[in-house]
Amino acid sequence: MSYDKLPLEPLFKKIDELKPKFIERLRKAIAIPSVSSDETLRPRVVDMANFLKNELTTLGFHDIQMKDLGIQPPPVADPNLKLPPIVLGRFGNDASKKTVLVYGHYDVQPALKEDGWATDPFDMYHDEAKDILFGRGTTDDKGPVIGWLNVIEAHNELKWELPVNLVVCFEGMEESGSLGLEGLIAKEAKQYFSKVDTVCISDNYWLGTSKPVLTYGLRGCNYYQIIVNGPGADLHSGIFGGIVAEPMTDLIKVMSQLVDSTGKILIPGIDDMIAPLTDKEDALYDDIDFSVEELNAASGSKTSLHDNKKDILKHRWRYPSLSLHGIEGGFSGAGAKTVIPAKVIGKFSIRTVPDIDSAKLDQLVFDHVNKLNAQLNSPNTLKVELIHDGNYWVSNPFNEAFTAAAKATEDVWNIKPDFTREGGSIPITITFEKELGTDVLLLPMGRGDDGAHSINEKLNLSNYINGCKTLGGYLHYYGKS
């Protein structure tokens, strides 16, 4: 061991002993179809909040609050639809201890048996031969949320004091845009969250299936659209083809000059903003367990633009990418339709990384698109606009929280974790850092093949139980740091 190991065997043994109870607790949580995007299921999302409130009460949490977020803004079918509450609770209030805030979400993606599930998505199925738990929410994010409760129960059973003060923040709209959460964090930053030293989120996954990871970075996402207006109505190409300027021709010409087929972004100035790669950061990629074969398996094809692990991961995590997503307004059905569309809208996004400034990026995009349009000398009108943006996030993987999580991971799994970033976005990480003035750690429980938003979502039982040990161990190593 490359660190001072804490005497946590009794805790790990107790978690093993309580395994049947922990499986049952997760089963009860999975049975509540808390689908936030389905208005008809909103009462069940509230049921899930109450389930958590009852669990927290039983475990001895105090100052438990159900924060009302008011009415859900449009578009909604029911104009009086209430947002589900955010569940807050505290365990311990010792001024001499550090305070850890743990965030998770209790809502889930939609799921129906007829979507292709092998079993009922809301009746957790334990495949005992493979020791896998199947059900909607097992890995995203009810498994990790319930994991934190299990950690408290194990401490209670041992009559062990928690090594930190714990604050929980569980929301019910994460799968539907986290409506209301940012405002609540800002409001409670100097109140409920005033003593928080660090934030831990368990809402992501290992890179692969065999090696635990800690995640210290996420790319942001700026999403744009290009609108080209031409004729007053859709036209027949037999009558007007060759004699009017066609919006689709202009759009395709412009979109073809945003990125090339090797993935290189063609907008000047973006590369100049990317933070340089340090030797220390580069070294983090050396031991990561990943291969081109895993990429091919994940994409279902042999279409990788890079032929080695380090290049693949750097282009997924620490370099920007530009993706063309689609065109609205043109003919896209089967068959042959000879229409000249009057208006077309092209959609594309840029995944952002340190140190890309979002406003500066927008200006570079607008200037490039407008310059390309000017070169067309087309009588059509073109407009480019930002639809939405979310900033990148990167933390220091060598800080106290990450070091504690690395020790806990090695203690439980007998292997040093990989330090990873992710290509996607979890906007709430930035909100916590900005509003609370603290660091965020992403400490995943599940594996890369869990199928979080897919059919047959699962959580390996070893990840669930060892995940509980890792969460508990993290609190101890952080409390001692």
pLDDT digits (tens, 9 = 90+) for 151-198: 999 999 999 999 999 999 999 999 999 999 999 999 999 999 999 999
Reading phi first (left if > 0) and then psi (alpha if -120 to 50, else beta), residue 185 is in alpha
Known binding-site residues for Mn(2+) equal 105, 140, 175, 203, 453
Is residue 1 scored above 60 in pLDDT?
A: no
Q: Mind listing the pLDDT tens digit for each residue in 261-305?
A: 999 999 999 999 999 999 999 999 999 999 899 889 888 899 999
Annotation: CATH topology of 222-274+319-390? Alpha-Beta Plaits (3.30.70)
* pLDDT grade for 3, boundaries at 50, 70 and 90: confident
Q: Quick one: average pLDDT of 353-380?
A: 98
Known binding-site residues equal 105, 140, 175, 203, 236, 338, 351, 425, 453
* pLDDT grade for 2, boundaries at 50, 70 and 90: low
Annotation: CATH topology of 8-218+393-480? Aminopeptidase (3.40.630)
Mean pLDDT taken over the chain: 96
Q: Mind listing the pLDDT tens digit for each residue in 81-100?
A: 999 999 999 999 999 999 99
Letter string b/e over residues 142-171, b meaning 16 or more CB atoms within 10 A of that residue's CB:
bbbbbbbbbbbbbbeeeeeebbbbbbbbbb
Active-site choice (55, 107, 188, 422): 107
Q: Mind listing the pLDDT tens digit for each residue in 304-340?
A: 999 999 999 999 999 999 999 999 998 888 999 999 9
- Domain boundary assignment for the chain: 8-218+393-480, 222-274+319-390
Active-site choice (55, 174, 250, 450): 174
Whole-number Å distance between alpha carbons of 121 and 138 = 10
Angstrom distances, CA of residue 197 to CA of 1, 13, 101, 410: 27, 29, 8, 23
| Entry field: residues in the chain | 481
In which residue are the tokens 């952002």 written? 352
Cα-Cα-Cα-Cα torsion 321, 390, 455, 332, nearest 10 degrees, comes to -60
| 174 annotated active-site | yes
Is the Cβ–Cβ distance between 442 and 216 less than 8 Å?
A: yes
Stretch among 91-95, 401-405, 409-413, 424-428 having the lowest mean pLDDT: 424-428
* pLDDT grade for 106, boundaries at 50, 70 and 90: very high
Helix axes 461-480, 400-413, angle to 10 degrees: 140
Three-state DSSP state, 384: strand
Residue-level pLDDT at 427:
84
Q: Quick one: average pLDDT of 224-246?
A: 98
Whole-number Å distance between alpha carbons of 119 and 117 = 5
Whole-number Å distance between alpha carbons of 264 and 165 = 47
Secondary structure element (H or E) that encloses residue 325, with its range: strand 321-328
Known binding-site residues for substrate equal 203, 236, 338, 351, 425, 453
Q: Mind listing the pLDDT tens digit for each residue in 41-76?
A: 999 999 999 999 999 999 999 999 999 999 999 999
